[in-house]
């Protein structure tokens, strides 16, 4: 069925649980649906064209916090698959949507200490292209999977499972997940800020993998699983 549905998601604007959920895992769980989650204007423009031209149903997920993002739109962005946003040799960071921006910011912070992070932008959640992430993990031996959604039953769990089972992957530490706690997001600024993971949580997760900080055990906001 050639149908493209544009939907909003993500935390922005202090709207609380009514309008700040990240529900991409619901759609990923449904066989037959394609799911898109762009992070940059170029991909947003290119992938909406690809989705509309597709003969299958596509859920096109727009993070409401990215609507004011500016960037180059060339028209030559890849039509499918994930892409490498930054090269690095020490840790692989896999993400999508707005969390890619946090991953790049975390990579900048860690680079100041000589830690090279390779950042993978999934772009499509279904079909899920993990070849660049697997190739990166084979080199680095360490990975962080980050998203804004709650970790419980999230896309990150599927990504971690597939990465761990990929041929030729030998991890030096358990793959870490960064995500929100298993709770509704609050509308109060203090509650929302405490709920939403960001670049600092990714930095903390990377340092845990490298043995520079004690690991979290709850799998939330920089935890290790």
Please state the domain extents for the chain.
4-66, 83-209
- Give the mean pLDDT of the chain: 92
Residue 117 pairs in a beta bridge with 91
Cα angle at 199 between 46 and 8, to 5 degrees? 40
pLDDT bracket for residue 225 (50, 70, 90): very low
CATH number of 83-209: 3.40.50.920
Strand partners, 59: 5, 35
Residue 223 has pLDDT above 60, yes or no: no
Confidence of residue 224 (pLDDT cuts 50, 70, 90): very low
This prediction's pTM: 0.92
pLDDT band at 12 (very low <50, low <70, confident <90, very high): confident
The answer to whether residues 122 and 129 touch, using CB atoms and an 8 Å cutoff, is yes
Q: What is the pLDDT of residue 214?
A: 57
Mean pLDDT of 124-140: 97
Q: Tell whether the model's pLDDT for residue 72 goes beyond 90.
A: yes
pLDDT per position as a tens digit, 162-191: 999 999 999 999 999 999 999 999 989 999
For β-strands 58-63 and 83-86, DSSP reports them as unpaired
Strand order in the sheet with 58-63: 4-9, 58-63, 34-36, 124-126
Strands (E), the chain: 4-9, 34-36, 58-63, 83-86, 91-95, 117-121, 124-126, 143-150, 176-180
pLDDT at 15: 79
- Pairing verdict, β 143-150 and 91-95: parallel
CA–CA dist 38, 121 (Å, integer): 9
């Amino acid at each position: 069925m050639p149908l493209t549905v544009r939907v909003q998601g993500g935390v922005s604007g202090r709207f609380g649980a009514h309008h700040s959920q990240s529900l991409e895992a619901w759609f990923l769980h449904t066989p037959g649906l394609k799911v898109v989650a762009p992070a940059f204007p170029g991909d947003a423009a290119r992938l909406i064209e690809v989705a509309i031209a597709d003969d299958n149903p596509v859920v096109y997920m727009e993070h409401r916090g990215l609507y004011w993002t500016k960037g180059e739109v060339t028209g030559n962005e890849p039509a499918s698959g994930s892409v490498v946003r930054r090269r690095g040799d020490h840790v692989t960071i896999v993400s999508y949507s707005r969390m890619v921006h946090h991953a790049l910011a975390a990579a900048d912070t860690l680079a100041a200490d000589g830690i090279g992070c390779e950042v993978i932008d999934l772009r499509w959640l279904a079909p899920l292209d993990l070849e660049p992430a697997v190739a990166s993990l084979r080199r680095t031996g360490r990975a962080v999977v980050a998203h804004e959604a709650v970790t419980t039953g999230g896309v990150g769990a599927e990504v971690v499972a597939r990465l761990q089972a990929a041929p030729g992957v030998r991890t030096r530490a358990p793959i870490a997940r960064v995500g929100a706690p298993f709770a509704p997001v609050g509308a109060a600024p203090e509650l929302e800020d405490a709920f939403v993971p960001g670049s600092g949580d990714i930095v903390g997760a990377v340092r845990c993998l490298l043995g520079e900080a004690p690991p979290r055990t709850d799998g939330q906001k920089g935890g290790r699983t």
